[in-house]
Amino acid sequence: MKPAVPLDRIDAVRAFNRFYTSVIGVLNEGLLETPYSLTEGRVIFELARRGACEVAALRRALDLDAGYLSRMLSRFEAGGLVARGRAEDDARRQMAWLTERGREVFGDLDARSAAQIEQILSGLTEGDQRRLLGAMGVVEGLLGERPRPASYLLRPLGPGDLGWVVQRHGALYAAEYGFNATFETLVARVVADYAEHHGEGDDAWIAEIDGEPAGCVFCVRESERVARLRLLLVEPFARGRGVGGRLVEECVRFARRSGYEELVLWTNDILTDARRLYERAGFELVEQRPYEGFGPETKEQTWRLEL
């Protein structure tokens, strides 16, 4: 049985919903100062994106009541925005598509929406824009049903990757765990130390999907016999595809090939997904104690794998 969600979290999500709907004005009488409601605008957008579309498929995609959608399409048809007909290969399938007038209405709605978002983003600094987009990615990754990519690759560090490692650790851990700037500062120090001192016994990998960084891990020399796994991260959109396990596996393989006898790592108890990866790879928890260095009260943990 799943534990009950605390009321303060429910209230926080509801408050955010009220805030965001106010920001983008979806509760106004007309969407983007037009005669159309939010739902009507979404139907127009879907018809513009899909072209000639089966009405039943449109209803399923938008999760609309069949009668409600039928009445809406009738209004659009009467206003010259939409045309309807039967599919050529199956007369049982009703199709709908935008007319030339409908495409003009879509173009106006699309331009108004883009101008609204541009105005919102223009009031933010470059860094805050990136933070906003990162937080949106976290929300979509947790609640959405985006198609998962079929494959990924692991590659060495390239230009710009070190900055990405710092930025994504700071943004993701703040959004997902409430970590403060102290954590990002620590990551920056680790990355800077690696950039300045890495040698034959060190390496790092970036997981990449469709040309975009999706995760990372570092293996650094601690002594002649001990290496340390550091900075494991997997982007929300890449989770559930084995990326994290593959990054840990590559780090372990490198440590073995390099002649180390032990691989150790430091983490926090609230990073449950990462801890499961370490357990599956054979790491054992050897030390745990309270830690408050990053804001939330956690337990710092040391894990060890005998190679």
Strands 226-234, 262-268: pairing is parallel
pLDDT in tens, 134-144: 777 777 767 77
Does residue 66 contact residue 11 with C-beta atoms inside 8 Å? no
**Fold adopted by 7-122:** Arc Repressor Mutant, subunit A (1.10.10)
Q: Percent of the chain beyond pLDDT 70?
A: 96
In 3D space, the residue among 253, 244, 237 whose CA is nearest the CA of residue 276 turns out to be: 244
Neighbour count for residue 18 (Cβ, 10 Å)? 11
Task: State the pLDDT confidence band at 2, using cuts at 50, 70 and 90.
Answer: low
Is residue 149's pLDDT more than 60? no
pLDDT in tens, 87-130: 888 878 899 999 999 999 999 999 998 998 999 899 988 778 87
Looking at residue 186, its pLDDT comes to 95
Looking at residue 206, its pLDDT comes to 96
Sign (positive or negative) of CA dihedral 112, 117, 118, 120: positive
Backbone angles phi, psi at 15, to 5 degrees: -65, -40
Is residue 225's pLDDT more than 90? yes
Mean pLDDT over residues 290-305, rounded?
92
Looking at residue 19, its pLDDT comes to 87
Is residue 214's pLDDT more than 60? yes
pLDDT in tens, 258-285: 999 999 999 999 999 999 999 999 999 9
Sheet arrangement for strand 90-98 = 53-54, 90-98, 82-87
Going from N- to C-terminal start, the domains of the chain cover 7-122, 153-306
Domain boundaries 153-306, corresponding CATH code: 3.40.630.30
pLDDT in tens, 3-61: 678 888 888 888 888 888 888 877 676 778 888 888 899 999 999 988 888 989 889 88
Is residue 145's pLDDT more than 80? no
